[in-house]
Amino acid sequence: MQENPPKLSTSEIDVLNPKRILEKILSNWYIFLGSIFLSTILAFYITKETTPIYESEGLLLISEDKNNLSLDIFSSAGGPSENTSLQNEIVNLQTYSLAYETVKQLDLNVSYFKENLFRLKPIYNKYPIKVQANWEKPQLINALFKIIPGKENEFTVEIEVSANTQIYTKQFGGKADVYSPFKGGDLGPFQGEYGQIISNPYFEFSIFNGQNENLESVYFKIQGDGSLAKKYKSLVNIGPEGKGNTALRLKIAHPDKEIGELYINTLMNTFLASDLKIKSLISQQSLEFIQNQITTVADSLNQYENELQSYRTINRITNLSEKGSNILNETVKLDDELNKQNLRLEYYKNLQKYLTDPDGQNLLVPSVIGIEDPIFNNTVTNLLNLQNEKSGLKGVLAGDSFSYIRELNNKIENLKNNLKESNTNAILNISTHIDRLEDMISVVEKDFNLLPEVERNLTSIQRRFKINESIYTFLLQRKAETEIQKASTITKHRVLDAAMLNSSPITPKLSRNLAIGASLGVSIPLLFLIVWSIFYHKVVDPKEVENLLHIPVLGFVPREKEKNNILVHNPKSIVTESFRTIRSNLAIRFDFKNKGTIMVTSTRPGEGKTYISIKIASAYAALGKKTILVGMDLRKPAIGKELNSIHNKFGVTTFLTQEGEDWENLIQATDQEDLEVLNAGPYLERSTELINTKKFEGLMASLKEHYDFVIIDTSPIGLVSETLDLTKYTDINLFVLRQNYSFINQVQIANDLKEKMGFNNFYVVVNDMHKFGLDGHNYGYGYGYSYYSNYNSYSEDEPKGGWFRKIFR
């Protein structure tokens, strides 16, 4: 006898065993095939319905100012040594304000849609209509306009408003756009023609036919620049081109091929223009200051010139004496120097206030008022550039929440600390120089007072005139220098590559989506099967059952396609052969050949114990052995349901309740020779007590004496007690399990019958085998069953159809 494999307890079933799962997959291959098919079809549909997204990208070179003193100061103050200027420009490019300026330059306010199966689908690239809004008039935004084509060139406009609908007035020249709530009004429908203006108090636009064929209904929406700026700001991705350089790669993913390229190009140009504007801001402020001073001095100069001319005419004096001329020249020279020093002193004092509180303060570059110190000029210029940059980001990046702002503040503070000390020293030096000039002027004025009155007055007038003339000349010179500086101001950044479109969409990818669909088609039913395996504890794999059982398995009975309970009616079927195998196993392994009693039971109804009882009885009758089938399921007899020729009007209960010992008249014949039936008979409440009587014992003895084989069909052993009482009359007890019906834990009941109750004559039959295993055969194996399990009849011809028929039958 073959050695039994190691036995497991019912709690040791490995529900996640790969082979067990693979067997379930192969036995349910049609589910996986259908799931994969549906998933790939769905993936294909989603791919075709998804709007393609195209990527456009450009390359922008960010050049650093190597002479930027602020960077040197910041680095020496213990700041990060890495190049943060590139990161700063990335932040600049990603600001809402720059996106808003970019959107302002483009006509992106109208979006188009068409009706789809479940929703409105956006239209890109090829637009059926073109809406041209008149931005000098208010427009109705966030409302859905529906264009319904009519006859020839006509159409109807229907409008659907929402909670977000507003009246939008676009402003230009740096003014803020105006948004006002829509409070309701006449919104049509309106009739119109292509190319004509459609006007209303809430909107004004023209619609042009974009194609020369009949249109279907088209929808469009108008959006404000603010929401568009937020949208495009989120679409742009900016990052360094690589290590060791300062180039930035700007990318945008957008469904419209042209808009993506256009936006990136406009964004880069707007960035360059903004950078140039910031660099030119200081020069512009200086020019405005100089021009205001020139206007003021020019007025004073004209006034003194008229006064001088009038005084000479009245007093009939043209020229000063030699002494007067010398005094005038010396005085003008000293006054000119004193005015310059006072102007510088005022600048340093303003700088001191600016360093303390820059808000609300206007500061010019030192060179405008004649301070020629290059280090000082460069430091102040860098400070002003950083302050202007910080002011430009106000409202875009809040407080110190960004590293860029923190770095900017650190640079400004370092510059301020360096300027404060040098500025204080400059104020002291200039104050001392001014005192010395004033003393020198006092000495000259003593000589001036000695001049005659007429000459003294003329000298005073000429003195004021020459001082203003000198200031005027100085301002004109500074204005020319500043204009040259402004004209020569350029941005050091530049576009290396204009935006280029990647002609292949980045999404959706058909191959990727089909692969994902196929993966989901496998993984979803696989996950279901794993979960099902964890919670579905029914008999499926007979090998698993054998490992759990502590009693032998006699055989496996396949599912019968055409039900026939008498073996002789279909002697060549695999069901008949399986019962012959069980009969042979009993004869060879347990020497059960010529005579004996077999009881068939199970743990719950529906497992096929009556069916097995009939088939076992038929198998022995087919050998010519006189066989009787006894129905001992006294509560719910089922033999009469299986065998149409058998009734339940009388039977075992009739014998147990009658007075005599005659049982022969209770026997019913069947269609098979040598097979008779003693049915259970009418229901009795005292069935358990009647079985445990001498009369029933005598009945069993008579049946064993009269018949070669007695087959007893009993009640489920787990539900009633009399089944165990019948075991004392039997030689062999068959315990029936049904594939895909009996629970795995029922195996423990069979084990307990042997181990706890001492029954050594219990054997298992697995009924209704129909699930396929790993090798493509039924789950039958051993005892000769696996050889013929693929055939309807072992003597019939192989069915036509080849391998295809084998797989799909």
Q: What is the tens place of the pLDDT at every residue in 126-182?
A: 888 899 999 999 999 999 999 998 888 889 999 999 999 999 999 887 788 999 999
What's the mean pLDDT in 723-740?
Answer: 90
The answer on pLDDT for 660 being more than 80 is: yes
Task: Answer yes or no: are the C-beta atoms of 459 and 448 closer than 8 Å.
Answer: yes
* Residue whose token pair is 């709530």: 181
* Residue whose token pair is 């059982």: 549
Q: What is the pTM of this model?
A: 0.58
Report the C-alpha gap between 490 and 791 in whole angstroms: 91
Report the C-alpha gap between 533 and 15 in whole angstroms: 6
pLDDT score of 267: 94
pLDDT score of 20: 67
Q: Which of 294-298, 461-465, 689-693 is least confident?
A: 461-465
Tokens at 12, concatenated: 């040791």
Q: Which of 64-73, 467-476, 722-731 is least confident?
A: 64-73
Predicted confidence band of residue 480 (pLDDT cuts 50, 70, 90) = confident
**In a 10 Å sphere around its CB, with 0-12 CB exposed, 13-18 middle and 19+ buried, how is residue 543 labelled?**
middle
Predicted confidence band of residue 359 (pLDDT cuts 50, 70, 90) = low
Q: What is the pLDDT of residues 170-211, one digit of tens each?
A: 988 778 899 999 988 888 888 999 999 999 899 999 999 876
The answer on pLDDT for 9 being more than 70 is: no
pLDDT score of 803: 40
Rg (CA), the chain: 53
What's the mean pLDDT in 97-104?
Answer: 92
pLDDT score of 211: 65
Higher pLDDT: 583 or 324? It is: 583
pLDDT score of 711: 95
What's the mean pLDDT in 659-682?
Answer: 91
What is the overall mean pLDDT for the chain?
80
What's the mean pLDDT in 455-470?
Answer: 75
The answer on pLDDT for 557 being more than 50 is: yes
pLDDT score of 180: 93
Report the C-alpha gap between 122 and 99 in whole angstroms: 23
Predicted confidence band of residue 782 (pLDDT cuts 50, 70, 90) = very low
**Long-range contacts of the stretch 687-690 (C-beta < 8 A, 24+):** 687/634, 687/635, 687/653, 687/722, 688/720, 688/721, 688/722, 688/725, 690/653, 690/656, 690/657
What's the mean pLDDT in 766-788?
Answer: 54
Report the C-alpha gap between 401 and 479 in whole angstroms: 41
Higher pLDDT: 54 or 339? It is: 54
pLDDT score of 212: 57
Can you spell out the DSSP letters for 412-440? HHHHHHHHHHHHHHHHHHHHHHHHHHHHH
The answer on pLDDT for 672 being more than 50 is: yes
What's the mean pLDDT in 682-696?
Answer: 84
- Most confident option among 492-506, 516-530, 542-556, 697-711: 697-711
